[in-house]
Amino acid sequence: MKKLRLLIVRNADISGSRLDFLSNELRLLDWPGYPFSSLPSNFGPNKLVAVDLSYSRVKKLIMYFKCFNLRRLPSDVRMRSLRHLFLVGCSKLESFPNIVEKMEFLKELYLEGTALKDLPSSIENIVGLQYLSPNLLYLSASDCRSLESIPKFNAREATRFSYHLDLTNCKKLVNYQADDIASILFTSEGHVDATVSTFSGSNIPEWFSHHSPKGAISFEVPSNLYAKPLSLSFYVLFGPKDVGVETGRFICGIEIIINNKTMIAEERLFQSVESDHVWLRSTLPSPWRWQLNRMLWSRFDVSFTVHGVPMGQTRAVLKKCGLHLAYKQDGHLIVPVTKVR
């Protein structure tokens, strides 16, 4: 059976404590309820195209290392005992399965070199995850409370694409701070379009042009910036009103008024948080046009709000906010001179 390419097993009664052999020519490994704790040590799955080991008893490392042909995993995964999952180099793997039940034993998940662009919201069921190494443009890992480390994303790639990162309630994550992320968002090539939610508390990007503890910022910019490619970044630091008390759902919003006319209004819904978080938003340079006032300076009035869902009181409070403007000239971002009001 060394040349076996398709293996489909259903309701088989197999005795013994381990499996000693699987063909390295397998394209399909379809064995729900796989009864052993590991795959054969000599199994080379490089030619796998699809695999389904849901409901299995696998505990040791599942390693599909550089399976260039692997395209599909099962749509739903029930592998509660799984401890390690490597999908490194699976360059054709485009979707990650839905995690149906809590996987408290999975400690490591490696996804480098895959074609994944996002992870399902059910990744929150991987509650024991300690290390996540994805090369993704969209990552939602909220409530992965055991997550301790993820690599910082590539700045060069980040400037070419939108990047979205949600690390809400990842309390143990220590290598992602708002200031680190903000520094990557501002490069010589320009801003990246990004939305970031992180647990970094009061560690905010201090080098932003404008800060306020009250939710309101006013300043003036030269009117000759009209129609020039402007980039905008802002952050909002928020958290529970009372220490140790969850906030419940709430909405955080920003409104930018230029010369008495609303130009930008944006809101984001947040689920309950247990500690201080930073929402960081950055936009790509684009021509800004506003109502001119025939003055040398144009006035910017920026307000940040936090309110409950539905509209009303919430246990979340705004603690600090900030905004940073830059314009693009000769391929570089330049911070304009502003006058604080």
Range 149-172 average pLDDT? 62
Between CA 29 and CA 328 the distance in angstroms is 53
Question: Residue 318's Cα: distance from chain center in Å?
Answer: 22
Most confident range, picked from 137-141, 181-185, 266-270: 266-270
- The contacts of residue 243 (CB under 8 Å, 6+ apart) are none
Q: What percent of the chain has pLDDT over 70?
A: 77
Q: Which residues of 288-314 are buried (b: 16+ CB within 10 A; e: fewer)?
A: bebeeeeeebbbbbbbbebbeeeeeeb
Most confident range, picked from 82-86, 171-175, 210-214: 210-214
Quote the pLDDT of residue 65.
59
Range 41-51 average pLDDT? 78
Band of pLDDT at residue 275, cut at 50, 70 and 90: confident
Of residues 187 and 293, more confidence is placed in 293
Between CA 154 and CA 98 the distance in angstroms is 27
Of residues 173 and 175, more confidence is placed in 173
Q: What percent of the chain has pLDDT over 90?
A: 22
Quote the pLDDT of residue 134.
46
Band of pLDDT at residue 193, cut at 50, 70 and 90: low
Quote the pLDDT of residue 271.
83
CATH number, span 162-341: 2.60.120
Look at 5-9, 57-61, 219-223 and tell me which has the smallest mean pLDDT: 57-61
Q: Is the pLDDT of residue 196 over 70?
A: no
Quote the pLDDT of residue 212.
95
Q: Is the pLDDT of residue 185 over 80?
A: no
- pLDDT tens-digit profile of 106-156? 777 777 677 776 677 787 788 777 665 544 556 666 776 666 666 555 544
Give the DSSP H/E element, type plus range, for residue 298. strand 297-308
